[in-house]
Structure 1
Amino acid sequence: MQYGPNPNALHPNEAIKSICYIKNVITRPNIFVGDYTYYDDINGAERFEEHVTHHYEFIGDKLIIGKFCAIAKGIEFVMNGANHRMNSVTTYPFNIMGGGWEKATPALEDLPLKGDTVIGNDVWIGQNVTIMPGVHIGDGAIIAANSVVAKDIPAYHIAGGNPCRILKKRFDDDLIEHLLTIKWWDWPAKEIFDHLEILCSGDLKRVLEINPLLK
């Protein structure tokens, strides 16, 4: 019996070519994406990596995206390679222009590097969102369309705006703690299939009945 779409398929539903499972189109060694996370873009969902900019292996920063994330078209992950040094008189990147200006190449420690960009599990990111270097977005968060995310967003919070700010919690603390304990996104495909009605129900009390030891 089949317990859901194949996580290794390019398009989980062949009738909807605008959606692709991102992990199956990644070629860069410094991008990591979990199962079932998709990008939705009618203009070429398979070209997701084009939306991860200024990402250079020599810097060493990673883009890490969890499982079951929904990412809408127009996303841009701005990575640490976009940063210019700010502890000198000028921020101009002379070194990349050539013509002898290479002598002004900054050391990595002179750049304001922010570390890895980490997106949790079951995160919904709306259209035309820009995520700045080093941001961490927690499990179950929602990012509103047209937002610019420059600071961390906690798990199960809704955030939006430019600059992006927290708007509200999705659930009360007890339910958030329970969801972070059961980690449904790590369950085997059959367990997810068997619990779909609860996971998709608006009756949140049913979720609290799920055994936190279920794996």
Structure 2
Amino acid sequence: MNENCFVARATIGAFCAIGARTAINPFNHPVSWLSIHEFQYHPRSFDWVPEYCDFERLERTPDMFRHVTIGNDVWTGHNVNILPGVSVGDGAVIGAGSVVTKDVPPFAIVAGAPAQLRRMRFPEPTIERLLRLKWWELELSELSGLPFRDIDRCLDCIEEIRQRGPREPA
């Protein structure tokens, strides 16, 4: 994760690359209330103001706390915003400056404001294989020496590793 990122109420998988100034699940203000300002609901924001001590604060609504899920092996460029409730699938790529308002499928490349599908990283059979093999669950030592630049050969090797089963501890 790069510098100046904001993350709230989110689960982030393994082997993710989060660009600088990325905001994951920024807080949503209540646009249908009298005001969008937090004086209506945030208990500690104005404790120093005498008039606020007895102020009746409203409960936040569930839509203010929707969780974000980011899969494994996800790359977000710099200055990305991922809004509340979004799920980003394994292997997805989010272009710099994007605003993600909807779920992103596994191994999709999205970009824009709002983010839109540009293309898939791999053909569907390769994506199915990647999702089945879940290479990100392997030990780093098991990944050493794999032919990373040749996706099909690499997946063949991972298939063999999975068939062998986990290595015994040394």
TM-score computed with the length of structure 1 as normaliser: 0.63
Q: Which residue of 2 aligns with 1:24?
A: none
1:65-109 deviations in Å (ceiling 9; x for gaps): 111111222222233xx2222443443433346444563422133
Rounded Cα–Cα distance in structure 1 between residues aligned with 2:78 and 2:29:
27
* Residues 64, 119 of structure 1: 8 Å contact kept: yes
Q: Aligned in 2, Cα 1:184/1:74: closer, same or farther, shift over 3 Å?
A: same
| Structure 1 counterpart of 2:140, one-letter code | A
* Higher Cα radius of gyration: 2
Query: Which amino acid in 2 is paired with 1:73?
Result: A
Aligned residues, how many? 155
2:55 to 93, 98, 103: 103
Q: 2:6 aligns with which of 52, 64, 76?
A: 52
Residue type of the alignment partner of 2:69: V
Distance 1:88 1:119 in 2: 30
> CA distance change for structure 1 residues 67 and 116 in 2, over 3 Å: closer, same or farther?
same
Q: 1:92 to 1:189 in 2, by over 3 A?
A: closer
Contact 2:95–2:112, Cα closer than 8 Å, also in 1 = yes
- Conserved in 2, the CA contact under 8 Å of 1:182 and 1:213? no
Q: Give yes or no for the alignment of 1:148 onto 2:99.
A: yes
- Kept in 2: contact 1:142–1:158 (CA 8 A): yes
- With over 3 angstroms needed to count, the CA separation of the structure-2 counterparts of 1:91 and 1:144, relative to structure 1, is same
The 1:171–1:209 alpha-carbon spacing in structure 2 relative to 1, beyond 3 Å, is same
Q: CA deviation at 1:168?
A: 1.1
Equivalent-residue separation in structure 1 for 2:30 and 2:79 (angstroms)? 27
Of the structure 1 ranges 83-92 and 134-143, higher mean CA displacement relative to structure 2 is found in: 83-92
Write out aligned runs for 1:18-57 (5 A). Answer: 39-40=1-2, 45=3, 51-52=5-6, 55=8
**1:181 corresponds to which residue?**
132
Identify which range, 185-194 or 157-166, moves more after superposition. Answer: 185-194
1:91 aligned residue: 36
Gaps of 5+ in 1: 1-38, 56-61
Q: Name stretches of at least 5 consecutive residues in structure 2 with no aligned partner.
A: none
Letter in 1 for 2:12: I
Please give the alpha-carbon distance, in whole angstroms, between the structure 2 residues aligned to 1:86 and 1:103. 20
Partner Cα distance (2:31, 2:117) in 1:
28
Match of 2:82 in 1: 131
Instruction: Specify the code of the residue in structure 1 equivalent to 2:55.
Output: K
Do the aligned partners of 1:182 and 1:212 also contact (CA within 8 Å) in 2?
no
> Normalized against structure 2, the TM-score is what?
0.77
Map of 1:198-213 to 2, 5 A cutoff?
200-201=148-149, 203-210=150-157, 211=159
For 2:154 and 2:144, the matched residues in 1 are separated by 15
Deviation for aligned residue 1:123: 0.8
Identical aligned pairs, as a percentage?
A: 32
Helix, strand or coil at the partner of 1:146: coil
Report the counterpart of residue 75 of structure 1 in structure 2.
22
Report the alpha carbon displacement of residue 114 of structure 1 after superposing the two structures with TM. Answer: 5.1
